[in-house]
Structure 1
């Protein structure tokens, strides 16, 4: 059976505002341990460590050409996909999902039509601090993720107060539901048991969507035993166990169909799995490239060289964009509202 090895980077649980780790992602590569061990030996013949770790290797400039060559081999000869997201942008999308969309749903308006939620979140990502007041805007996002986690009356009140302290009249279509009405339907949505700002669910959903497309038949997933990946493991198992036949269109190139071809998920010690170690290299290099392009890193692999290795179908990114027409075209006909409702009622984070 074909097996995808996966690894993650940048996981900070419910906290999507962590300034030290603004990006989160995961990578999957369909490679056997025998081939993986051979590639590691070819590209790092003098490796003394018991495990191939991207972070340790990338510290030495002399390893950079070898790392790029290894990535090129993986992306050229094996089925691969890497997902990376801007966590602050994702938090804004979640804010629109739960603190805004229910208000419009109650009034018969499809807030997700043609991806307009992505356009609004992108605009808020770029101009929100200036338009709404930087400190107040940041406090609002912090209050939202706290309310989604704690689900208390006090936390909800603090969220409404935080929204009202912004210059919300500059953007009433996004902030009016809470600032003007303290919309009970929005507050109820935030209080729902399945609602969380933990990004593992979003990352995994995107990764599974691409693995389903790449796999020719039944396949398995193998991942490290790290604490962070326990969340992914539980979600993958729920996906495997879900037998209802249904399909959702997410974008021009992505759809999710149940039941999945994914048949099993296994945790392994990464020291014993060269294939999992290669997944670590893939996601480590991509997250570092994202940080470099954001201006947050001064050392490491050349970001342009890393991204040039990827073909369009090998990388999924959730990043803000001001090309609203492209966003509309890409997400035209999206069943975003239906998918969110379906996932919230059937899967538990």
Structure 2
């Protein structure tokens, strides 16, 4: 049975404003441990470490050509998918999902039509601090995270007050429901048990949408035993156990149909799994590439050289964009609202 090995990077739970780790992602690769070991020996024949780790290897400039060679081998010859998202952009998308969309839904408007939620989140990302007030806007983002986590009347009231402290009249389409109307439908959505700003669900949904396409029959997943991946493990088990027949379109290139072809998930010690080590290299390089291309920090590898290795269907990214026409085309026909409504039924 085909097996995808998975690793993640940048997971900070519900906190999507962590300045040290602004990007989150995961990579999946369908490769046997025997083939993975061959690739490691091919590109790093003198490696003395117990296991291959992107961060350790990238520190030495002499390893950079070897890392690019390894990534090129993987991407050219094995099934894989890598997902990277800007966590603050994702936080703003969630803000629109819970603190804005219910207001429009109650009035018969499809807030997700043509991906306008992505366009509005991008606008907030780039101009929100300037137009709405920098300190007040960041305070609003923080208050939303807390309200989604704690769900107490105090946290919800603080969220409304934070919205009212901004210059919300400058962008009432986004902040009016909370600041102007204190919309009960939005507060109720935020207080829904089981929903939070934890992005693991979104990351896994993206990976699964591609793994399902890349496999013809049943497949399984293995991942490391790290603490961060425990959340991913639980979610994967939940996906596997979901046997209702249903399909959702998420974008021009992504859809997900249940029941899945994924049949099992297991944890392994990465030191004994060369294949999991390759997943670590893949996601490590991708997150560093995103950092470099966003201008936050220059990574050890040339980001353009890394990006050039990917085929279009091997890299999924959730990044803000002011190309609104492209967003409209790419997201046309999305069932984002249906996905949120459907899975909110299955919270713990």
Please say whether Structure 1 and Structure 2 have the same fold, judged by a TM-score greater than 0.5. yes
CA offsets, 1:18-70, max 9 Å, x none?
00100000000000000000100110010000000000000000000000000
**C-alpha distance in structure 1 between counterparts of 2:119 and 2:190, whole Å:** 22
**C-alpha distance in structure 2 between counterparts of 1:299 and 1:201, whole Å:** 27
| Alignment TM-score, normalising by the size of structure 2 | 0.99
**1:153 pairs with 2:137:** no
1:272 counterpart residue number: 272
- For structure 1, which runs of at least 5 residues remain unmatched after alignment? none
CA offsets, 1:286-340, max 9 Å, x none?
0001111122223411111111100100000000111111111111111110011
> Helix, strand or coil: the match of 2:41?
helix
1:164-179 correspondence runs (5 A): 164-179=164-179
1:341 counterpart residue number: 341
2:67 counterpart residue number: 67
1:225-240 correspondence runs (5 A): 225-240=225-240
**1:220 pairs with 2:220:** yes
Change (3 A) 1:299 1:25: closer
**C-alpha distance in structure 2 between counterparts of 1:251 and 1:52, whole Å:** 34
CA contact (8 A) 1:235 1:347 kept: no
> Helix, strand or coil: the match of 2:253?
coil
- For structure 2, which runs of at least 5 residues remain unmatched after alignment? none
Offset, 1:343: 1.3
**C-alpha distance in structure 2 between counterparts of 1:307 and 1:254, whole Å:** 20
Offset, 1:346: 2.1
**1:261 pairs with 2:261:** yes
1:35 counterpart residue number: 35
**C-alpha distance in structure 1 between counterparts of 2:212 and 2:281, whole Å:** 22
CA contact (8 A) 1:25 1:287 kept: yes
2:316 counterpart residue number: 316
Aligned-residue RMSD, C-alpha: 0.7
2:193 counterpart residue number: 193
**1:302 pairs with 2:302:** yes
CA offsets, 1:204-225, max 9 Å, x none?
0000101001111100000000
CA contact (8 A) 2:15 2:198 kept: yes
1:104-183 correspondence runs (5 A): 104-183=104-183
**C-alpha distance in structure 2 between counterparts of 1:322 and 1:124, whole Å:** 10
**C-alpha distance in structure 2 between counterparts of 1:333 and 1:41, whole Å:** 46
Change (3 A) 1:73 1:347: farther
**C-alpha distance in structure 2 between counterparts of 1:343 and 1:205, whole Å:** 11
**C-alpha distance in structure 2 between counterparts of 1:147 and 1:79, whole Å:** 40
**C-alpha distance in structure 2 between counterparts of 1:111 and 1:298, whole Å:** 37
**C-alpha distance in structure 2 between counterparts of 1:158 and 1:345, whole Å:** 27
**C-alpha distance in structure 1 between counterparts of 2:160 and 2:205, whole Å:** 30
1:243 counterpart residue number: 243
CA offsets, 1:118-165, max 9 Å, x none?
110011111111110111100000000000011111100100000000
Offset, 1:347: 4.5
CA offsets, 1:58-89, max 9 Å, x none?
00000000000000000000001000000000
Segments of 4+ moved more than 3 angstroms: none
> Helix, strand or coil: the match of 1:81?
strand
| Alignment TM-score, normalising by the size of structure 1 | 0.99
Change (3 A) 1:257 1:347: farther
1:289 counterpart residue number: 289
